[in-house]
Structure formats: structure tokens, C-alpha cells
Amino acid sequence: MPVLRNQRHERFAQEVAKGVSAIRAYVVAGYAKTSAGANAVRLMENEGVRARIDELQGKVAARTEVTIEGLIEHAEKIRHYAMDRKVKQLAVANTALVTMAKLAGLWVEKRENTNRDADPKRMTDAEIMERWNAIRSREAMGTGDGAPPDDQGQLH
């Protein structure tokens, strides 16, 4: 679809496609603030304007997809370069692989579970409260390292 003939309509469509609210886009396009709400809704229902907004949003989505694909391809080139060297640069190759996995959404960051020895399903209410109080007291003393108290209730 070509650019809209009405410059205000085109500017309105561009602003909405960028994620600006219809009312704000209406004002930015050069229309008066008075009754902007009702008129912005009416302009959003205009078939030509709606089609132009959809087209612009589709172009943005396509650019974003190409950018992610392009980054993955670039990381793959870096990996190949690192492995084709006389002296293999394994750290560089590994970093490129991790980067590609992150971009593809396949990389999951792992977090350490500091409550390895506490399974609330197997603890009584009293044990849970004791554990909770020990954690709170460690935090109050500034030693909140997550370590459980020893057998005598002392913090390590």
C-alpha cells in the first residue's frame, strides 16, 4: 500500500504503528486536542488508515525477525572463524554458540537453590516457622548467607 494521500492520516498511521496511543497519535499528526478521543477512534476505523497501520506494523515485525536471524548468522560466522584458525580459539567459538542459543531462546540461565535441605512438603509447620525465623534473624544480623543453623541453633 502506498503512503496515504492525506499527510495527517499518514502521520497518524505511523505513530500508531510505533505503539503510540491513538489519541496521542491524533494530536501528533496535527489535529486539535479538543475531541481527540472520539475523532481518533473514528480515524482508527477508517479502512485506508487501518490497512496502512497493519502494513507498517508488518514491516517492523519483519525487520525485527531479520535482525535476530542476522545476529545468529553473524555469531555462526564468528564461530567458524574461531574454529578455522591454525590455533583454535575455543573460548570464542563457545561464546558464539552460547550467543546463538540465547538469541534463539534456547538458553536457560540456571539459578542456585540455596534451600537444598529444606523441602516444605516434608516439614511440619513448626519446622517451617523455625526455618523462617532463623532466616529472618540472619538477615537482621547481616549474615543472610542462606546457611541453615547448626544443631545447636547457631548460625554459621
Residue 50 confidence (pLDDT): 93
Is residue 78 located within the same domain as residue 13?
A: yes
pTM (2 decimals)?
Answer: 0.43
Over residues 121-146, the pLDDT tens digits come to: 788 888 888 888 888 887 777 655 55
Is residue 132 located within the same domain as residue 70?
A: no
Residue 115 confidence (pLDDT): 63
Residue 156 confidence (pLDDT): 46
Please check the confidence at residue 26 and state whether its pLDDT lies above 90.
yes
What residues have CB less than 8 Å from 12, skipping those under 6 apart? 22, 25, 26, 28, 29, 31, 40, 43, 49
Please check the confidence at residue 155 and state whether its pLDDT lies above 50.
no
Domain of residue 71: give its range: 7-103
